[in-house]
Chain A
Amino acid sequence: MALLEVRNVGKSFGTLRALDGIDIAVQAGTFHGLIGPNGSGKSTLLKAIAGAHFPNSGSITFDGRDITTATPYERARAGLSLKFQITAVLPELSAYDNVLLALQSDQSLWSLLSSRTRRRLNGEVMTALERFRLADRADDLAGELSHGQQQWLEIAMALAPRPKLLLLDEPTGGMSPEERRVTGELLQPIRSHCALVIVEHDLDFIKDICDHLTVLDQGKVLDDGTVAEIERSTRVQEVYTSRV
């Protein structure tokens, strides 16, 4: 059984049909890319999976559980995590506290009030920061980090609760080519314990890290398959060559 199953999902905003009968399945341990021209519905689909939007029709099943109308909190507790398209770190908190905040989300109220776990979580926070090359900036405010570092910090936050599925919306947006390459390297090690659904415009980046691609166009699935299959797809080539 797939880790994530999206079945016949539709979403409208007024008269605009943003998603129209979308079906995708994401297997555990795979990196799944969502690509397509602007306005094809990639980010809307990602938000429907994360719980930022509720679909008008269809169903979303995660880890065997129907989460179609679950709140973002309930989805996060079930093992889903999202990195927003627009960087959403907490600018007035240190990089350290941003990660700590994500790590302690399963703690009880009493544990939080008595600050019982900060010392215990210190190692995990620093490991996460070290993995994303932010250990030497642990005490700096998140708002003082470069754009690329803020993107990494948000990915570190999203990974901190050890999700089963990470949703990344344009994680390399605004990054330099070197930062993009490093981002790809940083994501590879999570494959052992976390699947990934990623929306990204940089097709080279997507091809480098993904096992499976779904191509959307005008709110529908245009094609679906391995990277090699999508590269050979004439339908996909037609859409890209006619729009770009």
Chain B
Amino acid sequence: MTAILSLPARRGAKGLRVLPIVEIATLVVAIAAPFVLSDRIDLVTLATNVLILSMLAISFDLCWGLSGIMSFGQALFFGVGGYVIALVGRDLGFSHIWGTLPLALLTGFLLSALLGAFLLLGRKTPTVIFVALGTLTGSYAAERLVSGWQYVGAGNGLSSIKLLQAGSYEFVEGTAFYFLALATLLVVYVAARILMRSQLGLVLAGMRQNEERLAFVGYRVQLFKALVFSVAGAIAGVAGALYSYHQGFIGPGNMGPGLSTTAVLYCLFGGSGTLIGPILGTIAVEVITYALADIDAIKSIWPVVLGLVLLGVVMFQPKGILGFFVSDRERIGSYGERPQRGA
């Protein structure tokens, strides 16, 4: 008991913490952006896209940064969410927000639960490579499938998607859609943060570091992995639905390995395992891509540049942009409610 009473103040409670500052600053910028950019609808559209793609990046971060599941297939759930709401709008004439976004969420959850059960819940513990190839194959197969399926528009995808409705209000691209995307991202972010810093988050962090150790103290590691993978799939599904409504279009490329790999890039570039890092990574990659889009000489080689950036990050700065100014100790953080001395 003496030792408990003399427990030193738990580290992390003292010193300047950078992550909350980055989070608040990002939120302030996000709220201000549509007002600052109000006379540039193209930039508001870009910013809305960034918010939506940030959800895809967070879904990958939950898998890899939090739980050690290397998913190269997050776009599969993103695309399916987009296709589902497009089809419901086209065939049933329904696009109310209270029905379609939960539907996309459920579809993403169920599909990822199915794929997760197949990849993760076998008798033998799957390797990182097995899961990476399995998810990549799923994403690739889905892209090929819809490319040849006339019912879903084949290679042309589905366009003129019915506008998202809330009562009689219709969301068109612009400030209202931007704030809808921001509110959704905020909900996703807060939920993911609560998960990450809970005692369950501690299990996931342990799993990422040494899943064998966790199995030997009594955790059903693969079940936890399947659960996180499913939650991440649900988030990607909602993001896909918003993307589809916002763009008025969804196509095979929105569920293939290209977008899946871009989600990996967003996350690693910003700093995996931090949640805010993937958002910063998405902003950086998308803004640079937009800025260079009109320069033909660079536009054609931009995918190659992105590939090299990914390679460089993996090799030289695996902690991403955030790694430059957030300490390892702060990035690791603490889990659950912090006990008081002598508690």
Contacts and interface: CB of A to CB of B under 8 A. Distances in A.
Interface of A: 50-52, 71-73, 76-77, 81-82, 84, 88-94, 96-98, 100-102, 104-107, 109, 111-119, 122-123, 126-127, 129-130, 135-136, 138-141, 157-158, 160-161
Given A84-B213, A90-B210, A139-B8, A105 B205 contact: no
A72 B336 CA distance: 26
A101 B337 contact: no
Contact of B215 (A72, A106, A160): A72
Contacts, number: 132
B209 to A, nearest CB: 5
Given A73-B221, A90-B206, A101-B206, A117 B199 contact: yes
Contact of A91 (B4, B209, B216): B209
Interface stretch (B30-38, B55-63, B284-292, B327-335): B327-335
A158 to B, nearest CB: 7
B200 A112 contact: yes
Most buried by B among A88, A101, A123: A101
Interface residues of B, number: 39
A105 B206 contact: no
B205 A93 contact: yes
B212 interface: yes
B9 to A, nearest CB: 8
Given A101-B206, A112-B198, A138-B8, A81 B336 contact: no
Interface in B319-343: 328-329, 332, 334-337, 339, 343
Given A73-B221, A112-B199, A118 B216 contact: no
A82 B216 contact: yes
A113 B220 contact: no
Contact of B216 (A72, A127, A136, A140): A72
Contacts of B7: 126, 135, 138
Given A139-B10, A141-B329, A97 B335 contact: yes
Given A52-B212, A94-B11, A100-B336, 12 more contacts: A90-B213, A97-B334, A100-B335, A101-B203, A105-B217, A112-B202, A114-B198, A118-B336, A136-B8, A139-B8, A139-B11, A161-B218
Most buried by A among B4, B209, B336, B343: B336
Contact of A77 (B212, B218, B335): B218
Interface in B187-222: 194-195, 198-200, 202-203, 205-206, 209-210, 212-221
A68 to B, nearest CB: 15
A107 B199 contact: yes
Contacts of B10: 96, 138-139
Contacts of B216: 50-51, 72, 76, 81-82, 84, 158
Nearest to B213: A88
Contacts of B339: 118-119, 122
B3 interface: yes
A74 B202 CA distance: 21
A98 B11 CA distance: 15
20 contacts: A52-B212, A72-B216, A73-B215, A81-B217, A93-B332, A94-B11, A96-B10, A100-B336, A112-B203, A115-B335, A115-B336, A118-B336, A122-B4, A122-B343, A126-B3, A135-B4, A138-B7, A139-B11, A158-B216, A161-B217
